[in-house]
């Protein structure tokens, strides 16, 4: 039976490996033929910014991997609107064009729909 | 009920893996089944056989091994996270031309897909740490 799994990514892209390892988990999940969604919230929204120069701190650019998610069959990619607002980030600054904005109630509804949550 | 556990933090630095161990004990004592414990991120350090804590402190690595033996548990370490942090089995040590390996008995190295498989196969996935 196919399960609904939501991966929640809440950490900034650099500073520790959590954002990178969350993304690896999403990519690994894509091959299991489950109903996978990804939600970026809190500092996780920083991962989506264009123009990251991570080579200056000897790290791979996480924003170059995120656009691969739809290519791996993960179409449901969500961003928490309030997290964006609190950090003064607008949708034009994001690397993804096809991204769904969710308010607090939408997030609550999304979480309630899932069989499993993977929170990073 | 079928459980799987995900452990994301290193032993000693964080309480998370000790809590995971106690949760595993509790669920097994209550008659539930434990499909897999998956060690990811800094949680891979749970699998080293080189930790030598003082004798008057709880030895988590040994305790995982004893529990796994007793209940025939599947303790899986993420290969990519392990390689980055220096947790290797003999096969990986050979592949990367390293002079030693350090994965404790009862632990196996496998892909991140095993976390997803565990999620799909279990009624509950409980995450510890990070």
* CATH code of residue B28: 3.40.1260.10
CB of A60 within 8 Å of any CB in chain B?
no
Q: What pTM does this model have?
A: 0.96
Residues of B with CB under 8 A from a CB of A: 6, 8, 40-41, 80-81, 111-113, 115-117, 119-120, 125, 127, 130
Whether A21 has its CB under 8 Å from any CB of chain B: the answer is yes
| B82: closest CA of chain A, how far (Å) | 12
The rounded Cα A89 to chain-centroid distance in angstroms is 15
- Interface probe for A, chosen from B120, B122, B125 (most Cβ of A below 10 Å), is B120
The pLDDT tens digits of the residues spanning B97-114 come to 999 999 999 999 999 999
**pLDDT by residue (tens digit) across B12-64?**
999 999 999 999 999 999 999 999 999 999 999 999 999 999 999 999 999 99
| Cα distance between residue B109 and residue B44, in whole Å | 10
Q: Is the pLDDT of residue A1 over 80?
A: no
pLDDT of B33: 98
Q: Is the pLDDT of residue B72 over 80?
A: yes
Residue B116 to residue A17, Cβ atoms within 8 A: no
Smallest Cβ distance to A116: which of B41, B81, B119? Answer: B119
Interface confidence (ipTM) of the complex: 0.93
Confirm if A52 and A17 have CB atoms less than 8 A apart.
no
Is residue A30 classed as helix, strand or coil in its secondary structure?
A: helix
> Annotated catalytic sites of B, by residue?
78
**pLDDT score, position B130:** 83
Relative to beta strand A100-102, strand A76-80 is parallel
pLDDT at A35 over 90: yes
Look-up: residue for tokens 């080293």?
B48
- What's the CA dihedral at A10, A14, A18, A22 to 10 degrees? 70
CA closest to A17 among chain B residues: B41
Question: What's the rounded mean pLDDT across residues A12-28?
Answer: 97
Q: What is the per-residue pLDDT for A98?
A: 84
Tell me: pLDDT of A80 over 90.
Answer: yes
Task: Tell me, rounded to whole angstroms, the distance of Cα B60 from its chain centroid.
Answer: 10
Contact between A2 and A115 (Cβ < 8 Å) = no
pLDDT at B10: 97
Section A24-51 average pLDDT = 96
Judged against a pLDDT cut of 80, whether residue A8 lies above it is answered with: yes
* Structural domain that includes position B37: 2-128
SS3 state of residue A41: coil
Cβ proximity of A41 and A80 under 8 Å: yes
Q: Is the dihedral of CA A25, A31, A33, A39 positive or negative?
A: positive
CB contact under 8 A, A18 and B112: no
CATH number of A4-119: 3.40.1260.10
What does the mean pLDDT of chain B come to? 97
Q: What is the pLDDT of residue A20?
A: 97
Q: What confidence score (pLDDT) does residue A97 get?
A: 86
CB–CB contact B80 A3 (8 Å): no
Chains A, B: CB contacts within 8 A come to 41
């Amino acid at each position: 039976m196919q399960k609904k799994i939501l991966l929640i990514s809440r950490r900034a892209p650099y500073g520790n490996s959590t954002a990178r390892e969350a993304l690896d988990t999403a990519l690994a999940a894509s091959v299991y033929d489950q109903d996978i969604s990804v939600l970026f919230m809190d500092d996780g929204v920083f991962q989506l910014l264009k123009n990251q120069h991570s080579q200056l701190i000897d790290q791979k650019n996480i924003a170059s991997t995120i656009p691969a998610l739809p290519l791996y069959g993960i179409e449901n990619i969500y961003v928490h609107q309030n997290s964006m607002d609190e950090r003064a980030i607008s949708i034009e600054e994001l690397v993804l064009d096809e991204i769904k904005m969710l308010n607090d109630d939408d997030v609550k509804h999304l979480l309630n729909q899932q069989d499993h949550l993977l929170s990073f | 009920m079928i459980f799987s556990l995900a452990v994301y933090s290193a032993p000693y630095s964080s309480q998370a893996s000790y809590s995971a161990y106690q949760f595993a004990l509790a669920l097994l004592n209550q008659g539930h089944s434990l499909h897999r414990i998956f060690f990811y991120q800094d949680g891979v350090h749970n699998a080293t056989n080189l930790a030598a804590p003082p004798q008057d402190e709880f030895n988590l690595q040994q305790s995982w091994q004893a529990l796994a033996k007793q209940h025939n548990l599947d303790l899986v370490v993420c290969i990519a996270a392990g390689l980055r942090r220096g947790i290797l089995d003999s096969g990986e040590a050979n592949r990367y031309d390293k002079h030693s390996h350090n994965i404790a008995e009862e632990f196996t190295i496998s892909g991140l897909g095993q976390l997803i498989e565990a999620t799909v196969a279990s009624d509950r996935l409980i995450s510890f740490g990070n």
